Amino acid sequence: MHPILKLITQRVALGLMLLFAASILIFGGTMMLPGDVAQQILGQSATPVALENLRAELGLNDPPVTRYFQWLGGFLTGDLGTALTNGRDIAESLGFRLRNTLFLAFWAAVISVPLAIFLGLLAVRYKDRIPDKVISAVTLTTISIPEFMIGYILIYWVSIKAGWFSSVAIINDSMSLGEKLNAIAIPVMVLTLVVLAHMMRMTRAAILNVMQSAYIETAELKGMGMLPIIAKHAFPNAIAPIVNVVMINLAYLVVGVVVVEVVFAYPGMGQYLVDHVAKRDVPVVQACGLIFAAVYIGLNLIADIVSILANPRLRHPK
Amino acid sequence: MTEPLLKVRGLKIGARIYPPGERPRDIAIVHGVDFDLEAGKVLGLIGESGAGKSTIGLASMAYGRGGVELTGGEVWVNGRDTLKSGMRDVRSLRGGEVTYVSQSAAASFNPAKKIMEQVTEAAILHKKFTKKEAEERAILLFDKLGLPDPENIGQRYPHQVSGGQLQRCMTALALCPEPDLVVFDEPTTALDVTTQIDVLAAIKEAIRDTGVAALYITHDLAVVAQVSDHIMVLQQGAMVEYGTTDQIINNPQEEYTQALVSVRSIKHIEKEPTDTPLLRVEHITARYKGTNFDVLKDVNVELHPGQTLAIVGESGSGKSTLARVITSLLPPSEGTITFDGRVLSPDLATRPLEDLRELQMIYQMADTAMNPRQTVGTIIGRPLEFYFGLKGKAKQKRIQELLDEIELGDGFQDRYPAELSGGQKQRVCIARALAAKPKLIICDEVTSALDPLVADGILKLLLKLQKVEDVSYLFITHDLATVKAIADSIAVMFQGEVVRYGPKSRVLSPPFDDYTDLLLSSVPEMKLGWLEDVLANRKMESAGN
């Protein structure tokens, strides 16, 4: 087998094991939460018989290991169970929300990743000069301001004063793509500003590190200009660290956007999760937790695989 | 008179340095150098490290490495002063009219790109050739430089070819755009001698066939004598002597040049073996964990008290591994090591302190072998405390004695390694080894990173100390000139085996086995036409076979 296939297979297997471990943690963690689900549903005035019946019905009397495997088995076949609070199928309501979250994250990523890398390259090209300092200052400022604050500032200036985009980001399936994009324009801007600095600075650092190499001097002595050197000779060797930080930020765009969703009343996963944590709806929390874990592990797995593929020594062994 | 290709006048080069704990200050690296280079001629720049030869070479491309700045003077290439040209002009010069071959091709090739792409890049960039023409020319050059499979080698990545091959690819890279001038910056220094001779011959032939002019930078006078028409000797950023190659080699005028020419003239008379060897290595076979081949195969050598055994071989021959086995850093799979009449434990953890003390090491890179945060006094004092429990005044006195022995004298105790020169650092490492009062010191390429004159000083010191302290050396090196200078007996290693072993006089006199013959004949000699003679000899031999 090609050594690179072996390495990638190893990574994928490790990722799956990690996900399995995460599912145990999530299940165990929610098990340890105080309170009784049956009591929660029926309220304080429930009779002991009713409680006992409900427990039996929900399978709460089974040993935890059995329940864990039932839960995991359901998850693998697409059955996430029903929400305790409203009795709806979790998979159904979660599917809509997950699509929305991914939609928002996708557009934020489409704008922020190329922009961050471009700004990083620019900062290297004009290292320690005014463009570099301006880029650093601006991105560090935007990362330092809390995201709800940026959200409100943008709503005020872009939406209310300039009247360009909608200030509320409610979307539904009947909207056209253009309408949806109009609705999420400001949240995308906020998210972009939040994740930009981290990716930009990592790109800058990774490329500057490569710029010390002797082969950059070789390129300079070929008479190449700075930007072509950075793009053609430095960037290919800096891909691994850049991809890593990009993936961490993409994961954040999926998992960590609760605040932005609340500010813009966006019907995404984060808001859904927060609502149900407040209501102690354990099956929903477990489902959201496992999906978030899968996103994190999956994206980092991609980063690992890209790093492996970017290494010519692994791609073309002797 | 026609204008020379390269005309340098009053070239001054400086840099800003940032000494720890002091204000940054500007220093001068090159103080006003003048020279001319005619089209199609080769000028050798020679000097020790810090003489400014690489800096001058790069200045001919209007380039300053790191913080180096070209502070004054003129550098005329093809009739225009490059130091006054704009960036656009300078770029058309670099890679188009003047190209560069660096010491380490392995570091100078981009690991993420195919060789062909990098070799043809400059030629295409400067619109000298189309992509197709450039690739055809590259293949032609690969062929001329003696690379295997010239049609396809360009499709490989740098890590897929050997060091010597990559150095030739770098030469092809420099010649591909049909430049007027190539700067060769120590192009063979990092190679094994047997590889060096082939690369050197390939470079020489390529220079002759393409009619390109060259600046050939090296610290090895014997190498530069083979390729250049003129030689300029540099010392500390100033010219010492300039002349034809013949004049510099055979009739040097300046004292410094004479010292360079006569370097490695140490005469050492070989001692007779004694009855009882100090170190006896018997049937040692060893391999590294997780590998499936033996790095050492049935190695047998002996070392007598107060004598020097030189282990010679190229990189990968297993000589450093032998040192690791003797010091028990790598337990052998078979064989025993007897030291001073007792069998040494193959495992470091179970070796008694006395065995550790009597067996010391000195390494190639003195820089990394010392803690940069400790003073010289602390570094030398450590074995005194560890092995002898010396403290206070007694320790101070002994440290000073050791410093006197390595000819460093007063005022060195409180200095940090960063404040010492390369030769001084290696002397401190010698003192640290001596502090343990060892019977055997393993010297692993201790002079390889040093300039010839400094290395000479270290070798003389080691010989002197051997007489005074009656210590034995196991001297690991790839440099045969060093071996001739200090060894009593020699073991030649090739691919993990000792192919020739015995007293120096016998090992170095014919009849030779094939490998020793190849190794010995590859060492550059300081005479004109040596390269041609060797190659002609080899051709005759292979025709005779």
Q: What does B368-432 look like in DSSP terms, one character per residue?
A: TTS-TTS-HHHHHHHHHHHHH---HHHHHHHHHHHHHHTT--TT-TT--GGGS-HHHHHHHHHHH
**Interatomic CA distance for residues A54 and A49, integer angstroms:** 9
* pLDDT attached to residue A20: 92
Looking at residue B120, its amino acid is: T
CB A230 within 8 A of CB A125: yes
Which residue of B lies nearest to A215 if distances are taken between CA atoms? B108
* pLDDT attached to residue A42: 75
Which residue of A lies nearest to B173 if distances are taken between CA atoms? A222
**Interatomic CA distance for residues B28 and B149, integer angstroms:** 47
* pLDDT attached to residue B405: 87
- What tokens appear for B192 in the block? 């094994």
Q: Taking Cα atoms as reference points, which of B209, B178, B210 lies closest to residue B99?
A: B178
Query: Which segment of A17-26, B189-198, B317-326, B359-368 scores lowest on mean pLDDT?
Result: B189-198
**B186 in the Ramachandran plot: left (φ > 0), alpha (ψ -120 to 50) or beta?**
left
CA of A218 vs chain B CAs: smallest distance (Å): 6
Among A223, A233, A237, select the one facing B94 at the smallest CB separation: A223
**Interatomic CA distance for residues A143 and A134, integer angstroms:** 14
Among B58, B110, B157, select the one facing A316 at the smallest CB separation: B157
Which residue of A lies nearest to B101 if distances are taken between CA atoms? A218
Per-residue pLDDT of chain A (318 residues; tens, 9 = 90+): 678 888 899 999 999 999 999 999 988 888 777 666 777 777 777 788 888 888 787 777 778 888 888 888 888 887 877 777 777 888 888 888 888 889 999 999 999 999 999 999 899 989 889 999 999 999 889 888 888 888 888 888 888 888 788 777 777 777 788 888 888 888 899 899 989 988 999 999 999 999 988 999 999 999 999 889 998 999 899 988 899 999 999 988 888 788 888 888 888 888 888 888 887 788 888 888 888 899 989 999 999 999 888 888 888 877
Partner-chain contact B112 A237, CB within 8 Å: yes
A128 touches chain B (CB under 8 A): no
Q: How deeply is B119 buried, as exposed, middle or buried, from its count of CB atoms within 10 A (0-12, 13-18, 19+)?
A: buried
Partner-chain contact B110 A214, CB within 8 Å: no
Partner-chain contact B110 A220, CB within 8 Å: no
Q: Is the N-terminal amide bond of B511 cis, ω within 30° of 0?
A: yes
The phi, psi pair for A41, rounded to 5°, reads -75, -45
**Interatomic CA distance for residues B348 and A197, integer angstroms:** 51
Q: Taking Cα atoms as reference points, which of A102, A46, A47 lies closest to residue A266?
A: A102
Output the CA–CA distances (angstroms, integers) from residue B526 to A92, B74, B450, B492, in the order listed: 86, 33, 19, 23
Give the confidence band of B311 by pLDDT, cuts at 50, 70, 90: very high
Partner-chain contact B94 A237, CB within 8 Å: no
Partner-chain contact B157 A217, CB within 8 Å: no
**Interatomic CA distance for residues A103 and A266, integer angstroms:** 11
B138: Cβ contacts below 8 Å, ≥ 6 apart? B116, B119, B120, B154, B172, B176
- The answer on pLDDT for B264 being more than 70 is no
**Containing H/E element for B213?**
strand B213-218
Q: Which domains does chain A have, with CATH numbers?
A: 101-281 (1.10.3720.10)
Among B102, B125, B159, select the one facing A214 at the smallest CB separation: B102
Q: Taking Cα atoms as reference points, which of B400, B401, B460, B449 lies closest to residue B426?
A: B449
Among A219, A221, A224, select the one facing B61 at the smallest CB separation: A221
* pLDDT attached to residue A23: 92
Q: CA torsion sign, A251 to A255 to A259 to A265?
A: positive
CA of A318 vs chain B CAs: smallest distance (Å): 5
Give the confidence band of B422 by pLDDT, cuts at 50, 70, 90: confident
Output the CA–CA distances (angstroms, integers) from residue A189 to A242, A258, A270, in the order listed: 22, 15, 18
CA of B513 vs chain A CAs: smallest distance (Å): 32
Give the confidence band of B265 by pLDDT, cuts at 50, 70, 90: low
CA of B123 vs chain A CAs: smallest distance (Å): 9
Which residue of A lies nearest to B63 if distances are taken between CA atoms? A221
CA of A213 vs chain B CAs: smallest distance (Å): 7
- The answer on pLDDT for B545 being more than 60 is no
Partner-chain contact B122 A223, CB within 8 Å: yes
List b or e across B257-280, with b for residues whose CB sees 16 or more CB atoms inside 10 angstroms: beebbebbeeebebbeeeeebbbb
A214 touches chain B (CB under 8 A): yes
Q: How deeply is B34 buried, as exposed, middle or buried, from its count of CB atoms within 10 A (0-12, 13-18, 19+)?
A: middle
**Interatomic CA distance for residues B537 and B525, integer angstroms:** 15
- What tokens appear for B332 in the block? 């052998």
Partner-chain contact A221 B104, CB within 8 Å: no
Partner-chain contact A221 B112, CB within 8 Å: no
CB B110 within 8 A of CB B96: no
* pLDDT attached to residue B492: 92
Which residues in chain B touch residue A221, judged by CB atoms under 8 angstroms apart? 58, 61, 63, 94-95, 99-100
Partner-chain contact A224 B159, CB within 8 Å: no
Among A214, A224, A237, select the one facing B125 at the smallest CB separation: A224
Among A221, A236, A237, select the one facing B63 at the smallest CB separation: A221
DSSP B243: E
Q: Length of chain B, please? A: 545
Average pLDDT score, chain B: 87
Tell me the average pLDDT across B384-394: 90
Which residue of B lies nearest to A313 if distances are taken between CA atoms? B159
A209 touches chain B (CB under 8 A): no
A223 touches chain B (CB under 8 A): yes
pLDDT in tens, B204-226: 888 888 889 999 998 888 888 89
Which residue of A lies nearest to B92 if distances are taken between CA atoms? A223
- What tokens appear for B545 in the block? 């076979």
Q: In this predicted complex, what is the ipTM?
A: 0.78
CA of A316 vs chain B CAs: smallest distance (Å): 8
Partner-chain contact A224 B91, CB within 8 Å: yes
Rg (CA), chain A: 24
Which residue of A lies nearest to B182 if distances are taken between CA atoms? A221
A34 touches chain B (CB under 8 A): no
* pLDDT attached to residue B341: 87
CB atoms within 10 A of CB A17: 11
The phi, psi pair for B465, rounded to 5°, reads -65, -35
Partner-chain contact B108 A218, CB within 8 Å: yes
**Containing H/E element for A190?**
helix A177-211
- What tokens appear for A317 in the block? 């062994």
Query: Which segment of A132-136, B188-192, B388-392 scores lowest on mean pLDDT?
Result: B188-192
Partner-chain contact A223 B93, CB within 8 Å: yes
